């Protein structure tokens, strides 16, 4: 049986389902897919920005590396580092981080059906769940259907480790370069997060309800934030999400003749 010599990022053949060490191979393929993804470029830039931000606000290298490993969500890390760095109490930072993390719940929910056989094994799902962040999620949803069902968790973990390796390297790079980075370049790196998130989510939004939720959130979010409404992110999510869902239901009701 032929084994592909190089690790291609988008396995399309069914040859992947070959005997013994396939879980290891699925992991390796996922790892390579993570490292060679276009999104790992964006991720590298984003985490260079986070490393340099942490250095500027007086955090240690091992602390910011630990934050990349444990938090593994760029907006949460930007919020955490800038809040703590500005002297906000940890409780306030925790609330802001918690609100930005709500999006992870449905991302994990949407990923689970794709992980196949081991769905019932709670412990086996915790690692893929931890790796779930915008970059891993987008690539997993795109690549998993071509991976053999039995090895999807291994592939997903490989993908996460590939992206994580890239992000850890970038965090350290940004931390050491911070002093040399021109201010404008550092600003451009931090700007990668909002731009790439907006476009990656838009690319994955095939349904009207998803696009509406995005557009309404972009309008309602700033209104609530500038009005200094407490827990503005939570209310943005509930208001804009529910409104988008209502439009989706109304459209469905009109589309189906009684």
Partner 1 sequence: MSEPSSYLILVIAGFLPNEIWRWLGVLFGRGLDEKSEIVLWVRAVAIAVLAGVIARLTLMPPPVLADVPAPVRTGAIAAGLVTFLLLRRSVLAGVLVAEATLVIGAALMGP
SS3 235: helix
Measured CA to CA, the distance from residue 175 to residue 50 in angstroms comes to 8
Q: Kindly tell me which residue out of 26, 140, 172, 240 binds partner 1, with binding defined by CB under 8 A.
A: 240
Residue labelled with tokens 């109490």: 89
Q: Which of residues 79-108 bind partner 1 (CB under 8 A)?
A: 80-82, 84-85, 90-91, 93-95, 97-108
Q: Kindly tell me which residue out of 1, 14, 19, 58 binds partner 1, with binding defined by CB under 8 A.
A: 58
Which x/- pattern, by CB under 8 A, does the window 119-138 give for partner 1? xx-x--xx--xx-x------
Q: Kindly tell me which residue out of 8, 10, 15, 38 binds partner 1, with binding defined by CB under 8 A.
A: 38
Q: Which of residues 177-206 bind partner 1 (CB under 8 A)?
A: 183-184, 186-188, 190-203, 205
Longest dimension (CA), the chain: 67
By the 10 Å C-beta count (0-12 exposed, 13-18 middle, 19+ buried), 90 is classed as exposed
First to last CA, the chain: 56
- Distance of closest approach, residue 99 Cβ to partner 1, in angstroms: 7
Residue 210 neighbours by CB under 8 Å, 6+ apart: 201, 204, 244
Our finding on whether 221 is near partner 1 (CB under 8 A) is yes
> Where are any strands of DSSP class E within 11-169?
none
Our CB check for partner 1 shows the closer of 218 and 250 to be: 218
- Distance of closest approach, residue 153 Cβ to partner 1, in angstroms: 12
Our CB check for partner 1 shows the closer of 154 and 178 to be: 178
């Amino acid at each position: 049986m032929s084994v592909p010599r190089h690790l291609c990022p988008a396995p399309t053949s069914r040859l992947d389902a070959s005997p013994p060490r396939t879980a290891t191979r699925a992991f390796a393929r996922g790892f390579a897919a993570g490292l060679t993804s276009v999104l790992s470029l964006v991720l590298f830039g984003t985490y260079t920005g986070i490393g340099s931000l942490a250095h500027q606000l007086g955090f240690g290298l091992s602390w910011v590396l630990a934050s990349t490993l444990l938090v593994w969500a760029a907006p949460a890390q930007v919020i955490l580092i800038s809040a703590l760095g500005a002297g906000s109490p940890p409780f306030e930072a925790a609330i802001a981080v918690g609100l930005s993390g709500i999006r992870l719940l449905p991302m994990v929910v949407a990923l689970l059906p794709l992980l196949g056989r081991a769905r019932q094994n709670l412990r086996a799902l915790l690692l893929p769940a931890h790796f779930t962040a915008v970059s891993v999620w987008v690539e997993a949803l795109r690549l998993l259907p071509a991976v053999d069902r039995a090895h999807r968790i291994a592939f997903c973990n490989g993908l996460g480790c590939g992206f994580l390796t890239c992000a850890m390297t970038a965090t350290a790079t940004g931390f050491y370069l911070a002093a040399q980075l021109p201010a404008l370049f550092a600003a451009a790196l931090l700007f990668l997060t909002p731009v790439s998130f907006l476009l990656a989510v838009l690319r994955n939004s095939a349904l009207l309800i998803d696009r509406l939720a995005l557009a309404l959130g972009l309008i309602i979010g700033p209104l609530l934030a500038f009005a200094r409404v407490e827990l503005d992110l939570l209310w943005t999510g509930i208001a804009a999400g529910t409104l988008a869902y209502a439009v989706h239901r109304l459209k469905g009701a009109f589309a189906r003749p009684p």
